[in-house]
Amino acid sequence: MTRLLRYIAAVAALALFATLMPRVANVDAGLPADVRSGERVHWTPEEIAALVRLLRAEGASRVQAAELAQIVHSESRALHLDPLYALALIKIESNFRANAVSSQGAVGLLQIRPEAARSVAVAGESARGESPRAARLRDPQTNVAVGLRYLRHLEGQFPDRTTALAAYNLGPSRVRRRLERGAPVPRRYAERVLAVYRALAEATTTSPDGAPLPRS
């Protein structure tokens, strides 16, 4: 009965979510080859419901889950990232807590540090060379926009996605120094992100009773 009630709640969330998020093409573009599931024409309603259900399981309300899914989807689409890859990064960074603040001053869903915010362009602010203030970085839309653009910025600075993820975690200067010395770049953080990504991808292709969902 509990599982049935959760599923009914997920379906209700889907109805709200469908009004917020359009179906789009090629959401997997830019993924590492070892986690790419193939180009998808669009997200099916079942996949959307599963995505909202995952966020509900993390403690989000119905409205919060739908809103976060919409934000992640729209910002990921703009950067040709799979939304599930973005969610995996959010899971590792903040466990989906929009108000999370680290001891080093990293803020929000994607734990943005001030120096990271200054290094990327955000529409409406970057034209003047400004960066979002810490208060604005607590806003999920701003935080996800800045965080994913910062990730893409790092991917343009480093030779592969594993190294870019290490730079996201440790800071680009520390990773560059390692590369200059010929020292190995830590892989653990990237492995954690990719492991969560794979788990999310599997969860969104499985129905509440464990049966595979149809793929388009």
Instruction: Give the closest residue to 17 by CA, choosing from 42, 51, 59.
Output: 51
Query: 97 and 86 in contact (C-beta within 8 Å)?
Result: no
Instruction: Give the closest residue to 99 by CA, choosing from 137, 59, 153, 67.
Output: 137
* Count of beta carbons in the 10 Å neighbourhood of residue 213: 14
Count of H helices and E strands in the chain?
10, 0
pLDDT of residue 47: 67
Give the separation between CA 114 and CA 100, rounded to whole angstroms.
15
pLDDT of residue 34: 38
What are the tokens at 111?
Answer: 């734990």
Q: Which residues are catalytic?
A: 93
Q: Give long-range contacts, CB 8 A cutoff, 24+ apart: 139-142.
A: 139/108, 140/67, 140/68, 140/71, 140/98, 140/108, 140/109, 141/71, 141/75
What are the tokens at 103?
Answer: 């001891």
Which residues in the chain show pLDDT less than 50? Answer: 1-5, 7-42, 122-130, 207-216
For 2-203, which CATH class? mainly alpha
Give the separation between CA 211 and CA 209, rounded to whole angstroms.
6
CA distances, 70 to each of 74, 86, 156, 211 (Å): 6, 12, 26, 26
Phi, psi of 206 (to 5 degrees): -130, 135
pLDDT of residue 216: 32
